[in-house]
Amino acid sequence: SKPILAVVGRPNVGKSTFFNRIIGERKAIVEDVPGVTRDRIYAETEWNGREFAIIDTGGIEASTDDPILSQMRDQAVVAMDMADLILFMVDGKEGLTTADIEVGAILRRTGKKVILVVNKIDNPSKMPDTIYDFYELGLGEPIPISSANMLNIGDLLDEIVSGF
């Protein structure tokens, strides 16, 4: 079966925007996987002839009154169980948050390969100074992208398919 990329990150960092841009017009497939219950969460795609599946963990249902942090923990656990590769997305406009640090620590302990992606870098010639804070996550060099403007997405996809 196809390798699975799970996109993890706190709400509003741009996970669904990224997912939708990557899958394009392809219809998301609803998988019969526990926890992955909603539409537009799982899709199969390819890059340079390499097929893979992508999961938007932000769409994984949690009980409605769950605090954000425990939802993120649940998402990280699902990602760890299912994924061959984890894309941890953070927000370059907001900068590093305590929730990022906590989830980053969980992901670091998985032993799975994690790609750290800083979204919302809409103008790469004006890289915010706060981007260097993300090195503190201990997940290697952050890859800046703009999902909205489709910037650096090709380089990221190269990194993803070579990471499987």
Using CB under 5 A as the binding rule, the residues of this chain from 58 to 97 that contact Mg ion are: 58
- Asked whether 53 and 43 are in contact (CB, 8 A), the reply is yes
Quote the least distance from Cβ 140 to ligand GDP, whole Å: 21
- The number of beta carbons lying within 10 Å of the beta carbon of residue 114 is 24
Which residues, numbered 18-77, are part of the site for ligand GDP (CB under 6 A)? 58
Picked from Mg ion, ligand GDP, none, the partner binding residue 147 (CB below 5 to 8 A depending on kind) is: ligand GDP
Residue 129, marked binder: no
Which residues are CB-contacts of 154 (< 8 A; sequence separation ≥ 6)? none
Spell out a b/e string for 68-87, using b for 16 or more CB atoms within 10 Å of the CB, else e: eeebbbbbbbbbbebbebbb
Q: Which residues pair with 55 in a beta bridge?
A: 6, 42
Nearer to ligand GDP (CB atom), residue 41 or residue 53: 41
Return the residue nearest Mg ion (CB atom): 16
Query: Any binding-site annotation on 11?
Result: yes
What does the DSSP 8-state code read for residue 84? S
d(CA 39, CA 41): 6
Contact 120, 148 (CB under 8 A): yes
CA–centroid distance for 32 within its chain? 21
Q: Is 10 annotated as a binding residue?
A: yes
Q: Which residue number, 85 or 89, has a Cβ lying nearer to ligand GDP?
A: 89
The smaller minimum CB distance to ligand GDP, of residues 9 and 85, is found at: 9
16 belongs to the binding site for ligand GDP (CB under 6 A): yes
> Whole-number minimum distance, CB 1 to ligand GDP, in Å?
25
Contact between 11 and ligand GDP per CB under 6 A = yes
Residues that bind ligand GDP (CB under 6 A): 9, 11-17, 58, 119-120, 122, 146-148
Residues that bind Mg ion (CB under 5 A): 15-16, 58
